Amino acid sequence: MRAYRVVGQRVARIDAREKVTGHALYADDVILPGMLYGKVIRSPHAHARIVHIDAGAALRRRGVKAVVTGRDFPDVKFGFTKPTQDRRALPIDKVRYIGEGVAAVAATDKDLAAEAADLVRIDYEELPAVFDPEEAMKPGAPRLHEHAENNVSAICRFNFGDIEEAFRVADHVREDSFSTQAIMHGYLEPFAIVARYEVVTDRATLWAAKQSPYIIYRNLARGLGMKPSQLRIIQPHVGGGFGGKHEPFDLDFSAVMLSKMTGKPVKITCDMEEVFLSAYRRHPMRIRLAVAARRDGTLLGYRCRLIADGGAYAGVGHMSIYLAGAFLSLPFKVPNLRYDADRVYTNKPFSGALRGHGIPQMRFAAESQLDALGRDLGLDPLDIRMRNRVRQGDKLANGFVVTSCGLTESLELAAEAVDWTHTHGTLRRRGAKVRGIGLGCGSLSSGSRMGGHDASTAVIRVHEDGKVHLLHGSPDVGQGSNTVLAQILAEELGLTMDDIQTTLQDSDFLIFDPGTYGSRVTFTTGAAVRTAAAEIRRQLFEAVSKEIECAPGDLICKEGRIVVRGNEDRGVSFLHGVRLCYYKETKPLMAHGSATPAEFTAHFGDPKQLTSGYGNLSGSYSFTTQGSEVEVDLETGEISVLHFASAHDCGYPINPTLVEGQLDGSVAGGLGQALFENLETVDGLLLTPNFTDYGLPTSMESPQRSEHFHIETDDQFGPYGAKESGEGTQISTLPSIVNAIYDATGIWFRHLPITPDKVVKALQETYGANYLDHPFFNDPAARRRSGGADGRGNGRSRREERA
Amino acid sequence: MTPAGDGIERAPEAPLTLRVNGEEHTLAVRGHDTLLTVIRERLLLTGTKAGCTNGDCGLCTVLVDGEAMYACLMFAARCGGRDITTIEGLARGAVLHPLQEAWIQAGATQCGICTPGMILTAKAFLERVPRPSEVQVREAISGTLCRCTGYMKIIEAILLAANSGAPQPAPAAASGH
């Protein structure tokens, strides 16, 4: 039994009071004396040469202070790895998508900045554009970047085990095609930055809505021709990230350069339509997936061809397609894998990281196909999952090592929550509405080794009054990591949450940290906090042991005191211990601790490794099973989610309320992608540039009931046994909804999103115009006979083939 | 357009007296200034958040005469003499409003950007429907978006606040659900 006092408790967020009172400052809330307002001018063309930019009329307008274009920046490109350095601060030669920033203005107020933006005259020469990734790969297609032949920006070629043999010996194979749409992160805070360049120090201070200062540092400094140490990044609160606020954007470069040109602070806040037009998004993927299995459902191999629509720039897209392939197997054990992926440039905003990063698309394909495989073989979806599930200690074909695994329990809990045994496969119709349940699993890494400096560092200072201050480099973008880290610190020092303070990141006071991505913060930064806290204890114990004459090793921190283990009456208060350090030892009580995933994971900053795909991505992996119940209105095609049950193995929930918040948010995001959201473009022009047209779920679309089950597996690497909890459940949502829709309608949707028009069309095509009268929706026995309609398609068993 | 003292041509301004969080402010506004612009940029009450500024997300919701309104869609010039409450007007010093306490207890805030607008939406709603059903809560907040929480803990917080208040019968209009 665990005896923690702060860790594991549902303590309130450390920033909650600030946030509920409106006191929390976000980037757009920062106001500086003499501040100018900037506006980015965006391309109206999907692909065009920039012929000439004439800023004369804008600059003649009173109150307009400066105009910046690509030519004002050094002639350098930046990017995630060397081969993918294809972006500039602002383009100089051509634009590659509608909405790309081309120039920016600064003026004394917002209205003037908007007017000035209209006065900048940009002459373009339109170029042929390409929007479809497969078209873009064809010879003779318009080329976006000189270096990329056939517009391929990154590839993966994985080959593990013996795929030919797997398909040769299989009892059954099937092959299916899938596609996923572009979706946005959906952060409700638009991009914003305030930049102040100081000529006397030749440094710039930035307040920006970002989730990883370090990535911004490197790329921003490079694009600006400055050294990272010339930039000071002060982190305000961030209004949502979900992977979407990593990269430096046109407004960031522009604000710094405009400040440099004018000698005044410059604020640029995008409007939401600019975010819709220009922000990076989730990769749309086309997936062709062939599976080889034994008669009993044992998975023998996957052969996968994937084409990802990368948009105009590389971003971290190589990582995205790597991740899609890396999770071709997990959470199941598949010994033979062949994965060929191409990420292709097209004339659209670029694609990048988004909650689950590349994995939800692949797992949507693989796990809805798993249900179809089960139907081919007469196996229950729960049984086929149980048969192939990974277990603790498993090593996968691509080198992943599973150090802790609660998948078995999660399958059992989620299945029970939706009453799987009695409900699945039954006809449940009321009026025009039918219900169905589905399962989906998922797994995600708990941070990964990305290359470059990768350690997290925590700095702890103990004030003379006994309060403990924590500084670290991983921004809390809403997930609650500052609270979790404070809980860890309080636990380690035997204190309460009231004794802990944190300050948001400021690069002048911190050691570089990769920041907040890939579900790494609790896992890695949490470990750093523990290391730093141990050093604080060491210093305290040394001082206290002299005072009460005992060995330092006999002392423990407990309930606000420093006491002798086993003789807890003997000791001093924590505050007294602190004062001994300061006043008797005359030493400041501070420490730092670092943690890095380097010890136990492969290095994925190396493009060669991303391409070949072998290696253990992370120290630990989380596991989820999600049970979903949906209701399909057969008349309108509308789908509502009645019930989500998420059974999640995050190792150990350091704060169950925060973990539940992560699960709720993840599954809501998955629900949006499954049923509603779409950045739909025609010839590169976005048709859905606002939340309503785009389809961001409101409270009316969120599940009517949401259940959580925390599975504790006490991971050996994570602090207090904790693993990932921020994004893994978004992976299980897509297949569990798709599978539930199949259970309700007998139709397997392989192209997202599953909108009402698609549902009605599919019902008509499958069951005829009078589909409401079809036995499938009227006769309980018909379901058992048919096993559904659309899903059977192309599976063939070895025996059939021979006959 | 009229040139102001700095020689810049701007739309003409007219005097306006706004009552925000019980305090009167007299200032000159332009005809196209929204209530959101005035609250955030003139009165510097940055607790009210700007999201889409287009009536699409609900982040900028404030109370105008007790009713939840999108400040981005209201012209400031039309708010003279009306009682405006922003998130800064809810707590009394360090003593939080029951809704704010419920938000903290339920874990209903994550990134926090929707929190001010959502809390004010809930306040206006609970004053109208003190003992709501869950479905009523969902409907009431459907005009404000949240990406972090999936709305689950927000709904929980509002029900918590409703149930922690002094017991009172639900009004007839709301009980038929």
Give the model confidence (pLDDT) of A342-387 as tens digits.
999 999 999 999 999 999 999 999 999 999 999 999 999 999 999 9
Residues of B in contact with A660 (CB under 8 A): 107, 152-153
Alpha-carbon distance of A629 to A438, in angstroms, equals 7
Query: Do A349 and A281 meet the contact criterion of CB atoms below 8 Å apart?
Result: yes
Element at A547 (helix H, strand E): helix A526-548
In this structure, the answer to whether residues A464 and A439 fall within a common structural domain is no
Please name which of A216, A254, A255 lies closest in space to residue A232, comparing C-alpha atoms: A216
Q: Do residue B151 and residue A668 have CB atoms under 8 angstroms apart?
A: yes
Greater confidence (A155 vs A455) lies with A155
Mean pLDDT of A311-340: 97
pLDDT band at A801 (very low <50, low <70, confident <90, very high): very low
> Do the bridges between strand A705-712 and strand A685-686 make them parallel or antiparallel, or are there none, so unpaired?
unpaired
Categorize the per-residue pLDDT at A598 as very low, low, confident or very high, splitting at 50, 70 and 90: low
Q: Please provide the distance, in angstroms rounded to a whole number, between the alpha carbons at the two ends of chain A.
A: 59
Domains of chain B, by residue range, sit at 2-89, 98-168
Give the gap in angstroms from C-alpha B104 to the nearest C-alpha of chain A.
6
Is there a domain that residue A152 lies in? no
Put simply, the answer to whether A16 touches B103 (Cβ < 8 Å) is yes
Which letter does DSSP use for residue A464 in this model? T
Torsion of CA A288, A363, A516, A75, to 10 degrees: 0
User: Residues A606-625, buried b or exposed e (16+ Cβ, 10 A)?
Assistant: ebeebbbbebbbbbbbbbbb
Mean of per-residue pLDDT scores for chain A: 94
Q: Note whether B112 contacts A23, CB cutoff 8 Å.
A: no
Q: Which of B8, B46, B109 sits opposite A20 (nearest CB)?
A: B109
| CATH, residue A97 | 3.90.1170.50
Helix, strand and coil percent figures for chain A, each rounded to 5: 35, 25, 40
Q: How many contacts, defined by CB atoms under 8 Å, are there between A and B?
A: 185
Domain boundary among A552, A574, A595: A595
In B43-102, the residues whose Cβ lies within 8 Å of chain A are 44-54, 56-57, 59, 86-88, 90-91, 96, 100
Say yes or no: A531 and A645 in one domain.
no
Do the domain assignments include residue A6? no
Instruction: Quote the crossing angle between the two packed helices B152-164 and A656-675, to the nearest 10°.
Output: 130
**Residue A627 shares a structural domain with residue A771:** yes
Average pLDDT over residues A495-511: 92
- CA-angle at A532, arms to A502 and A616, nearest 5°: 100
Say if B2-89 and B98-168 have the same CATH topology. no
Q: Give the right CATH number for B98-168 from 3.40.50.920, 3.40.605.10, 1.10.150.120, 3.40.50.11810.
A: 1.10.150.120
| Same domain for A425 and A306 | yes
Q: What is the mean pLDDT of residues A134-161?
A: 96
Digit-coded pLDDT (tens) for A758-771:
999 999 999 999 99
Whether A504 maps to a domain, the answer reads: yes
Judged by CB atoms closer than 8 Å, whether chains meet at B109 and A665 is answered as no
Is residue A307 within 8 Å of A285, Cβ to Cβ?
Answer: yes
- Asked if A573 and A460 sit in the same domain, the reply is yes
- How many domains, chain A? 3
- Asked whether the predicted pLDDT for residue A421 surpasses 70, the reply is yes
Question: A569: domain range?
Answer: 16-22+455-595
Q: What is the tens place of the pLDDT at every residue in A514-538?
A: 888 888 899 999 999 999 999 999 9
- Report the pLDDT averaged over residues A706-730: 92
- Distance (Å) from the C-alpha of residue A182 to the closest C-alpha of chain B? 17
Q: Within a domain: residue A342?
A: yes
Tell me if chain A has a CB within 8 Å of the CB of B120: no
Q: Are residues A309 and A435 in the same domain?
A: yes
The answer to whether residue B133 neighbours chain A at the CB level (below 8 Å) is no
Q: By the CB < 8 Å criterion, does A693 face chain B?
A: no
Q: Write out the CATH class of domain B2-89.
A: alpha beta
**Structure-block tokens of residue A797:** 């068993």
Residue at A182 is within a domain = no
Mutate to test the interface with B, among A9, A23, A109, A188 (most CBs of B within 10 A): A188
User: What pLDDT score was predicted for residue A447?
Assistant: 86
* Length, in residues, of chain A: 803
Out of B105, B138, B153, closest to residue A700 by CB: B138
The span from the CA of A16 to the CA of A13, in Å, is 5
Question: What CATH number has the domain bearing residue A521?
Answer: 3.30.365.10
Residues in chain B: 177
| Residues A318 and A406 occupy one common structural domain | yes
Residues forming beta bridges with residue A179, ordered by sequence position: A286, A751
- On whether the CB atoms of residues B133 and B177 are closer than 8 A, the answer is yes
In a domain, A701, yes or no: yes
Give this complex's ipTM: 0.95
Torsion sign over Cα A501, A503, A507, A509: negative
Would an 8 Å CB–CB cutoff place A236 in contact with chain B?
no
The whole-angstrom distance between A62's CA and the closest CA on chain B is 6
Whether residue A94 has pLDDT greater than 60: yes
pLDDT at A791: 41
**pLDDT per residue over A544-579, tens digit each?**
999 999 999 999 999 999 999 999 999 999 999 999
With helix as H, strand as E and coil as C, how does B90-127 read?
CCECCECCHHHHHHHHHCCCCCCCCHHHHHHHHHHHHH
Residue B168 has pLDDT above 60, yes or no: no
Residue A492's pLDDT is 98
Same domain, A427 and A333: yes
Cβ-Cβ contacts under 8 Å, A475 against chain B? none
CB contact under 8 Å between A269 and B151, yes or no, is no
For residue A697, the chain B residues in CB contact (below 8 A) are 150
